Chain A
Amino acid sequence: MTNLLILPILIPLFTAIILMFISKYVKVQRGISAVSTLLTVAASLVLINTVHQHGIQTVNLGSWVAPFGITLVSDMLSALLVTTTSIITLVVLLYSFKSIGVERERFYYYPVVQFLLVGVNGAFTTGDIFNLFVFFEVMLMSSYVLLVLGGTKAQLREGIKYILVNVISSALFVITVAYLYSVVGTLNMADISRKIALVDQPGIVTAIAILFLLVFGLKGAIFPLYFWLPGSYYAPPTPVLALFGALLTKVGIYSILRTYTLFFYHDTGFTHEILGILAILTIILGCIGAIAYWDVKKIIIYNIIIAVGVILFGVSTMNPEALEGAIYYVVHDMIIKAALFLLVGVMIAITGTANLKKMGGLIKHYPWLGWTFLVAAFSLAGIPPLSGFIGKLLIVRGSFAAEAYVGAGVVLASSLLVLYSVIKIFLNGIWGTPKEYNGASKGDARYLWMTSLILVVLAVCFGLGAEAMRPLFSQAAEVLVNPDLYIDAVLKE
C-alpha cells in the first residue's frame, strides 16, 4: 500500500476533526481517541516492519516526483520515533481519563492532543525542510493550547513566556530556511544534501548550520537556550507535562540529528565541535539543576535537559557506534521520561504537593507505586539490565573511539548525579515516615499507577530485549552514517 507511512499522521488528524464535533460528550471522546490512537500504534508497528523488510519508504504527495513535490520519508529512525510517540500518547490518554478533569476534557482537550500527535509524527516523517517547519508549528500551536488550557495563573504566565520564545525561534527557522533556499535553491531534504555535497559546504553553509543549531536548540533546550524550559514545563498538569517532556524536545533533537547527518557532514570540524561543547555544557547545567531542587517535578524536568545533552553529544562525535547509541537513547529517554512524569504525577495526586520535604513514607500504603518508581529511576540512570544502559554504553564507547575523552567522562559522571537526583525522590518521598495525605483516593491512584506501569514495563522490556531490537537500531544508524542511502531512496536514481 503506497500510503502506509502517512497513516500515523492521517489517523490522528481525522480523529481530531471528528472529536471537534462532539466536544460535549466526554465519554464518547475518550472512547474514540483511545481506539484511534491504538490504530495509530498498530499502523506505526506495521510501518516499522515494512521499513525493516523493504528499506526506506517514501511517498511523493500529490504524485509529483521527488524534488518538486513534498516527499514524506520513513527510514528506520523516523519509524521508531513515530511508534514511540504513538505509544506514549496512548498511555498518556489513558492516564488523562482520571487525571485531567472534566472541565478541560470538555474544552477540546482530546482534539488538541490528537493535533499534537499529528505535528510530532509529521515532523518525524517529513522529507521537506519547509514542511518540517509547518509540522513544527502544528505541534507548537497544540502545545500552546495544552499549556494554557485550564487558565490558572501560573499557566497563563508561563504560556506567554513559552509562546514568546517559540514565536521568535520559529521566525528564525523561516529566516534560516530562506538563507538555505537562496544558497541551494531547493527545499527537498535529499536534494539539499546533494546540492551541498556539490559545492562542498562553503562558509555560508556552515553559518546556516549554526543557525539551524540555534533554531533547533531553542526547541530542544540545549545550553544556553534552555532557559524557558524549567518554568514552562512546570505549569501544565501532569499528563500534558508527560507529553511535553517525552515528545517536544525530542523533535528538536531529531531535527539536529537529521540536519547534522544529512546536510552538514562535509566540514564537521567547526559545527560538530560546537555541538559537542554545547552538549557537554547542557549536561553539566542539567545536572546542577537536577541536584539543586527539592521539587519532584523540577528534578525530572532538569533530567530532560541532561538527556538532551547526552544524546547530542553522541551525535556530535559522528561515530557510527555513538550515533546508534544516540538513537537508542532517544527512544529510551522518551519512554522513561513519560513514565517518570506519570509516576511523579501519581505521587503528587496522592500527597497534594510537589515538595519533597512535605512527602514521605508512601511505601507503607502504596508499595506498588514505590517499587515501580525505583525500577524507573534505575532505568533512567542506566543500571545494566535496564534500558538506559545500552544507549549510554554505545555513546561512551563511540566517543572513546572518536577520542572525545572529556565528553565521555562527563556523560559517565552525569549518570551518577542523575541517579542521586532520582534516588533523592525515592528516599525522601517514598521511604521515610508516613504522613497523612488527603489527595486522590486509593482506587484512582491505583488506576493512574497502572497506566504508568505500561511504560515502565515497556522500558524494562526495551532494556532486556536490546539484543533482539539491535538490528532495527543498526539499520537506523546506517542511514545516518551513510546519507547516500537516504538520497537514493528519495530521488530514486
Chain B
Amino acid sequence: MKAKVKTNDVILQTVTNVVAFIIILFSLRLFFSGHYTPGGGFIGGLMTSAAIVLLLLAYDIKTVATILPVDYKIITAIGLLFSVATGAGALLFDVPFLTHAYDYFHLPLLGKTSLHTAVLFDTGVYLVVIGVTMTIIQTIGVSE
C-alpha cells in the first residue's frame, strides 16, 4: 500500500463553511416559496441534502456526524409522521382525509400572512427527502 500523502483541503473547507450556509438559506427559500412560485418540499429537501453532501465532501463522515448528530432514518420517520398526521387531522373534523385548512393571520413583523396546513404536509416531504437522501449517501459511504 502506498504511503498516505497528507493532503491539505484548507481552501475547499473554508469555501464550504461559507457556501453551505448560502445553499441552506436558498433551499429554505425554495421550500417556503412553493405555494406561489416554483419550489416546494421536494426540491428544498434535495438542496438541503446537497449542502450536507458538500460538508461530507470537504470533511469526513465522522466530523459531519458531530456537526449534525442526527439519525437520518429517524428524520425520515418524523417527516412521514408529519405528512400523514396532517392528512389524518382531517379525520378529527369528520371531513375527507387530506382536506386542508387555511386562514389569514396578523403576525408581528410579517403583517398579514396566510397560514396553510399544506405547509405542514410539505414540511413532512422536506424531512423525508433529506432523510432518504442522506441515508442512501451515508450507507453507501460507510460500506466497504
Contact = CB atoms under 8 A, between A and B. Distances in A.
24 contacts: A2-B95, A3-B90, A3-B94, A3-B96, A3-B97, A6-B97, A10-B84, A10-B91, A10-B97, A14-B84, A17-B77, A17-B81, A17-B84, A20-B74, A20-B76, A21-B74, A59-B96, A59-B97, A61-B97, A61-B99, A62-B97, A62-B98, A62-B100, A63-B99
Contacts of A20: 73-74, 76-77, 80
B88 interface: yes
Contacts of B95: 2, 63
A13 B84 contact: yes
Interface string A50-70: 000000000111110000000
Contacts of B97: 3, 6, 10, 59, 61-62
Interface in A359-404: none
Interface of B: 73-74, 76-77, 80-81, 84, 88, 90-91, 94-100
Interface size class on chain A is 10 to 19
Interface of A: 1-3, 6, 10, 13-14, 17, 20-21, 23, 59-63
B74 A62 contact: no
A61 B96 contact: yes
A14 B88 contact: yes
Given A62-B98, A63-B95, A63-B96, 12 more contacts: A2-B94, A2-B95, A3-B90, A3-B91, A10-B88, A17-B81, A17-B84, A20-B77, A21-B74, A59-B97, A62-B99, A63-B99
A60 B90 CA distance: 12
Contacts of A6: 97
A14 B99 CA distance: 18
Nearest to B95: A63
Among all A-B residue pairs, the 5 with the closest Cβ atoms = A20-B77, A62-B98, A63-B99, A17-B80, A61-B98
A3 B99 CA distance: 11
A62 B96 contact: yes
Contacts of A60: 96
B10 to A, nearest CB: 40
A186 B94 CA distance: 28
A197 B11 CA distance: 67
B73, B80, B98: residue with the most chain A Cβ atoms closer than 10 Å: B98
A1 B96 CA distance: 10
B82 to A, nearest CB: 10
Nearest to A111: B77
A144 to B, nearest CB: 15
A399 to B, nearest CB: 41
A1 B80 CA distance: 25
A10 B81 CA distance: 12
A216 to B, nearest CB: 27
B24 to A, nearest CB: 25
A10 B91 CA distance: 11
Nearest to A19: B77
B84 A2 contact: no
A27 to B, nearest CB: 19
Contacts of B74: 20-21
A136 B100 CA distance: 26
Given A20-B73, A62-B100, A1 B94 contact: yes
A76 B46 CA distance: 42
Contacts of A3: 90-91, 94, 96-97
B70 to A, nearest CB: 13
A13 B88 CA distance: 11
B83 to A, nearest CB: 9
